[in-house]
């Protein structure tokens, strides 16, 4: 706890240096001398001390730096505290030049994304390796500029590493506008994701329609027939032993025929209903035009290496990011498609670890859909695989970036696995509580600012920054922004005309979906 002189606080607030003018207020930085070094701390809260006529404040220590003998300036700042101050030690405001030393990059590769609040000219940088090495989360309520900020951070990473490998799962199709020039946009028209890449669990999610005891019976039948269909491939003959999960091409007609054959046998354990259920679902997948991006007869060739190169940008050819727009995928298999893509990232890293494969960053927008907490969980494999990447991805060189507006709906352990948290304004109390629990100790002074942040402002804490900071994001050029602008109702409603044609065109597209 520190005591602040009210008169001195008034003098400071008139200073031309914005850092000194803010000093002593909640969320600002102050410094305390200990021996020949300076301790830096942030102010968590304030209250008036009636007896002494001063203000009492609680502080959180951030780190310490050495003092230059001639100028008294702070340099060589490090996180963490080795010596604590004694009661009665003097407290000083931290000036802009002190903060410059603190935020100055310590030689690690960093990208700048904005300026540190409340200063005018200190650039806010994020240490890329530390941020990606231990995962990151970008949180903020709808309309706070979340997607623009995500685009800004990814653009800066792409500029720093034009040969990177970034996979972004975009459920609304809003990022394709932002990365038209620096990335490859994949949607249902050109994704061409082969169905045989799915493992057995993902096959069950797509093909089985029953639940309870019947599901287990159906799964056993599917496992038997799928293994037979996979082993008919020429590739399987050269490999010796294969399992039901091996990503080996097979023909959908082989699987269908195998189910038909098994159904005709007299010594089968059940009646014909489960076989009919699976067969009908297969026929539906083959004939429904919406599923053509995955279950087309053209996708039977062994294109696994090409598919992985295309998605992971290997080689990147100057386009390091692939935006996978799943907005056109039928809703009942969206989570399976995301599960397959996430699992490919994980399996690729595991099987490539002898070759020291290059790291991959997987960014998941609307993450609370795919890694929901227990209350909202629907038992999909996508939650399992993303949870696993959050826990173990670091060892294999996979980085996970989660973007969400509902941190309280995320699975419990996942947010705490994120080493860097970038929090924009959160309006909901439950979400604020959740972030408070996930943030490190020294950032507590900033937490009260979360509901009061402006648009395109955020608080960054954790591994990616030297100390917790409040940042105003840079303006992003128009052509690099995602298409997530809110429409102006009044403007649109006051410009009528051509509405009959619009309805006809829309109905036409609706009917010919796929």
Per-residue pLDDT reduced to its tens digit, 235-271: 878 887 888 888 888 888 888 898 888 888 776 677 7
The predicted pLDDT at position 364 comes to 92
What are 195's two structure tokens? 């169905």
72 or 129: which carries more pLDDT confidence?
A: 129
What are 189's two structure tokens? 């028209």
Q: Phi first, then psi: give them for residue 384, nearest 5 degrees.
A: -65, -45
Torsion of CA 487, 488, 491, 495, to 10 degrees: 20
The answer to whether 220 touches 232, Cβ cutoff 8 Å, is: no
pLDDT score of 286 more than 70: yes
The predicted pLDDT at position 442 comes to 65
The answer to whether 92 touches 31, Cβ cutoff 8 Å, is: yes
Residue 282 CA to residue 229 CA, distance in Å, equals: 14
Taking CB atoms within 8 Å and a gap of at least 24, the contacts of 197-202 are: 197/247, 197/304, 197/307, 197/340, 197/344, 198/336, 198/340, 199/244, 199/245, 199/247, 199/343, 200/226, 200/244, 200/245, 201/381, 202/336, 202/339, 202/340, 202/343, 202/381
pLDDT score of 218 more than 60: yes
CA dist list (Å): 144 to 88, 457, 474: 43, 8, 14
The answer to whether 149 touches 454, Cβ cutoff 8 Å, is: no
Stated as kind and residue range, the H or E segment containing 229 is: helix 213-231
The answer to whether 233 touches 246, Cβ cutoff 8 Å, is: no
Tokens 């002494």, located at residue: 52
* Domains assigned to the chain: 2-104 (no CATH), 111-192+302-485 (3.40.50.300), 196-294 (no CATH)
Cross-strand pairs, 459: 423, 470
Residue 86 CA to residue 24 CA, distance in Å, equals: 19
Average pLDDT over residues 111-130: 84
Q: Phi first, then psi: give them for residue 47, nearest 5 degrees.
A: -150, 155
Q: Residue 34: which residues within 8 A CB-CB, separation 6 or more?
A: 64, 83, 84, 85, 89
The predicted pLDDT at position 124 comes to 85
β-pairing, 457-462 with 469-473?
antiparallel
Question: Average pLDDT, whole number, for the chain?
Answer: 85
pLDDT score of 406 more than 60: yes
Q: What is the DSSP letter of 451?
A: G
The predicted pLDDT at position 400 comes to 93
The predicted pLDDT at position 240 comes to 77
pLDDT score of 401 more than 90: yes
Per-residue pLDDT reduced to its tens digit, 26-68: 878 888 988 888 888 888 888 888 877 788 988 888 888 888 7
Q: What is the DSSP letter of 232?
A: T
Residue 39 CA to residue 22 CA, distance in Å, equals: 18
Residue 130 CA to residue 146 CA, distance in Å, equals: 21
For residue 403, give the 3-state DSSP assignment: strand
The predicted pLDDT at position 106 comes to 65
Ranking 74-83, 191-200, 435-444, 502-511 by mean pLDDT, the lowest is 435-444
The predicted pLDDT at position 111 comes to 86
pLDDT score of 362 more than 90: yes
Torsion of CA 289, 292, 296, 301, to 10 degrees: 170
Residues found in the chain: 514
The top-scoring range by mean pLDDT among 223-227, 299-303, 446-450, 480-484 is 223-227
pLDDT score of 118 more than 80: no
- pLDDT exceeding 70 applies to what percent of the chain? 96
What are the start-end ranges of the H helices in 265-330? Answer: 273-287, 292-295, 304-312
Residue 380 CA to residue 206 CA, distance in Å, equals: 11
Average pLDDT over residues 143-169: 89
Residue 166 burial (CB count, 10 A): 25
Residue 291 CB burial class (10 angstroms; 0-12, 13-18, ≥19): buried
Stated as kind and residue range, the H or E segment containing 28 is: none
What are 127's two structure tokens? 């240490």
Average pLDDT over residues 414-431: 88
Residue 207 CA to residue 373 CA, distance in Å, equals: 25
The predicted pLDDT at position 105 comes to 62
pLDDT score of 403 more than 90: yes
pLDDT score of 441 more than 70: no
Ranking 179-183, 196-200, 372-376 by mean pLDDT, the lowest is 372-376
Band (pLDDT 50/70/90 cuts) for residue 167 is very high
Residue 289 burial (CB count, 10 A): 10
Tokens 């607030």, located at residue: 13
The answer to whether 442 touches 61, Cβ cutoff 8 Å, is: yes
The predicted pLDDT at position 447 comes to 75
The alpha carbon dihedral of 160, 165, 170, 174 has a sign of: positive
CA dist list (Å): 37 to 32, 66, 83, 89, 96: 9, 4, 9, 13, 18
CA dist list (Å): 181 to 49, 184, 191, 328, 432: 58, 8, 18, 22, 36
Per-residue pLDDT reduced to its tens digit, 292-346: 888 887 778 888 888 888 898 888 888 899 999 998 888 888 889 999 999 999 9
The predicted pLDDT at position 322 comes to 92
DSSP letters, 106-155, are: -SS-EEEEEEETT-SSPEEEEEHHHHHHT-EEEE--TTSSHHHHHHHHHH
């Amino acid at each position: 706890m520190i005591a602040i002189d009210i008169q001195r606080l008034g003098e400071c607030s008139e200073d031309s240096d914005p850092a000194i003018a803010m000093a002593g207020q909640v969320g600002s930085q102050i410094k305390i001398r200990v021996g020949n070094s300076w301790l830096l701390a942030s102010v968590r809260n304030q209250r008036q001390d009636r007896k002494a006529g001063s203000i009492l404040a609680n502080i959180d220590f951030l780190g310490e730096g050495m003092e230059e003998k001639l100028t008294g300036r702070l340099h060589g700042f490090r996180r963490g505290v080795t010596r604590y101050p004694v009661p009665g030690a003097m407290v000083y405001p931290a000036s802009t030049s002190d903060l410059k030393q603190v935020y100055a990059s310590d030689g690690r590769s960093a990208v700048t994304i904005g300026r540190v609040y409340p200063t005018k000219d200190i650039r806010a940088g994020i240490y890329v390796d530390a941020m990606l090495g231990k995962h990151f989360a970008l949180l903020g309520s709808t309309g706070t500029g979340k997607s623009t900020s995500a685009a800004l951070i990814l653009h800066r990473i792409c500029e720093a590493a034009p040969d990177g490998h970034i996979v972004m799962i975009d459920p609304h199709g809003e990022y394709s506008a932002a990365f038209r020039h620096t990335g490859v946009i994949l949607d249902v028209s050109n994704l061409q994701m082969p169905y045989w890449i799915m493992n057995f669990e993902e096959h069950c999610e797509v093909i089985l329609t029953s639940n309870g005891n019947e599901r287990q019976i159906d799964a056993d039948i599917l496992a038997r027939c799928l293994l037979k269909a996979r082993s008919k491939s020429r590739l399987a003959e050269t490999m010796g032993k294969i399992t039901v999960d091996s990503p080996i091409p097979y023909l959908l007609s082989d699987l269908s025929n195998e189910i038909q054959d098994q159904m005709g046998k007299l010594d089968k354990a059940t009646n014909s209903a489960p076989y009919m259920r699976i067969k009908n679902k297969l026929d539906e997948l083959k004939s429904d035009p919406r599923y053509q991006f995955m279950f087309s007869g053209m996708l039977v060739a062994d294109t696994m290496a090409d598919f992985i190169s295309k998605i992971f940008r290997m080689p990147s050819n100057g386009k390091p990011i692939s935006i996978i727009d799943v907005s056109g995928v039928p809703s009942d298999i969206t989570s399976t498609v995301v599960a397959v893509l996430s699992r490919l990232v994980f399996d690729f890293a595991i099987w490539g670890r002898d070759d020291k494969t290059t790291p991959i960053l997987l960014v998941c927008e609307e993450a609370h859909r795919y890694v929901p907490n227990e209350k909202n969980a629907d038992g999909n494999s996508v939650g399992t695989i993303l949870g696993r990447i959050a826990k173990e991805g670091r060892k294999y060189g996979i980085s996970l970036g989660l973007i969400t507006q509902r941190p309280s709906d995320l699975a419990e352990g996942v947010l705490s696995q994120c080493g860097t948290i970038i929090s924009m304004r959160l309006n909901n109390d439950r979400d604020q509580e959740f972030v408070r629990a996930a943030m490190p100790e020294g950032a507590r002074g900033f937490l009260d600012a979360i509901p009061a942040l402006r648009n395109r402002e955020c608080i960054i804490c954790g591994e990616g920054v030297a100390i917790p900071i409040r940042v105003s994001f840079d303006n992003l050029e128009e052509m690099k922004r995602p298409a997530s602008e809110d429409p102006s109702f009044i403007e649109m409603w006051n410009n009528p005309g051509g509405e009959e044609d619009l309805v006809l065109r829309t109905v036409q597209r609706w009917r010919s979906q796929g």
